[in-house]
Every structure is written in structure tokens, then in C-alpha cells.
Amino acid sequence: MEHATGLVLPNSGHNRDAEASKMGMWLFLFTELLLFGGLFLVYMVYRMLNAEAFLLASFELNIALGTINTVVLLVSSMTIAMAITAIQKGDRKTSVLLLYVTVALSLVFMVIKFFEWSAKINYGYFPGMEVYQNLPAGESLFFFLYFFMTSLHALHVIIGAVFIAVVIYRTNKGFVTAEKYTLTENAGLYWHLVDLIWIFLFPLLYLIH
């Protein structure tokens, strides 16, 4: 951005950096969507080929816990969006507080998922266990996809929580301000992706019937 005199405004370099950062994040999110889109496609193909087996296996999933985790992620998307608005208005303390709440909700999600996984493992449904080996082919395939897809999503939850923790640190240090909040926006974009992926996973795995 330049004046008529040809002088470059001081914040023009920052604006270009912010735009480049956002573009990089969008490109990264696009590759993530391709990854999970491919997994969803594979899941749908096998589900059509093993409709009855997938239905029977889905009855072993805890819909109540899945629903609670869905609500947890939806609320966390709201809190991080509010955190972005707060930092844009220059309210650093509120932004940091809302980011802490988002991280806390991510931990709640992981704790619930841990108990859910533990129950399935105790029943022997984890790939390689004796009960799993004796399941009909379609049901064992369902549990393989269930553990693989939910584990991959959980990894993204952990990465997102770490990303938000970095934003909290940099906000407290004064690197993220009302004029420079691209990092917070990028964390929000990533977290919304995590939420979106779960919005697809929940009905695909838990609500077949």
C-alpha cells in the first residue's frame, strides 16, 4: 500500500505477511479436507458393501458419549470464535480466557474419547485382539475404520490444542494484538476444521441406524 508520493506505509509489510499466512493455512486445510474426504469415500464404499455388518457393529458404539463430544466441540468452536473477536477489539484478557476454555474443552473431548476407546478395547474390538479376529469380516472392518478415523481425528484435536496453547503464550507476551491477530485467526480456522470433521464422523459412525 502506497501514498501518492510513492512512500510505502509502515504496516504494508505486515498486511502482506498476514495475507500470506492466511493463504498458507487455507492451502493446508484444503489438503486436510482431501485426506479426510478420501477416508470418508473409502468408508462409504465399504459401508455399501457391508451394510448389515456395519449396522450391527455400530450398535456397539455409545451414542450418548458421541453426542456429548459433538456438543463439546461445537461449544469450543464458539469459544475460539469469541476469542478472535475479543482480540480484534483489543481485549487481550478475554481472548486468552476464551482460548483457555477452548483448550479445556479439547481435553474434555479427549477424556471422553479415552473412556470410549477403553470400553471397546476391553470388549476386544481393537484390531488384532482375539474378539476382533473372530468377528465377521464386515464388522471387523467397521471397527478398523472406527479406530483409525477417530484416532486420526484425535491427533488433530491434540495438534489443535497445542496450536491454541502457542497462541495463548504469544498473546500473553504481546506478540498477538488487536493489530496483529492472524495467528489467532489461523488457530480458529484449524479448530473449525477439527469440528467439521467430527460433524461428519459422528453420523457416519454412530448414527447408521
Residue 149: per-residue pLDDT:
98
pLDDT, one tens digit per residue, over 57-82 is 999 999 999 999 999 999 999 999 99
Residue 77: per-residue pLDDT:
98
pLDDT of 4 strictly over 60: no
* One-letter identity of residue 183: L
The answer to the question of residue 165 being in a domain is: yes
The answer to the question of residue 3 being in a domain is: no
Residue 2: per-residue pLDDT:
42
pLDDT, one tens digit per residue, over 84-113 is 999 999 999 999 999 999 999 999 999 999
Report yes or no: 161 and 106 within 8 Å, Cβ to Cβ.
yes
Residue 209: per-residue pLDDT:
72
The answer to the question of residue 65 being in a domain is: yes
Task: List the CATH number of the domain containing 160.
Answer: 1.20.120.80
Other CB atoms within a 10 A radius of the CB of residue 91 amount to 15
Q: What is the pTM of this model?
A: 0.90
- Which cell numbers hold the place of 177? 494484538
Domain extent for 57? 12-206
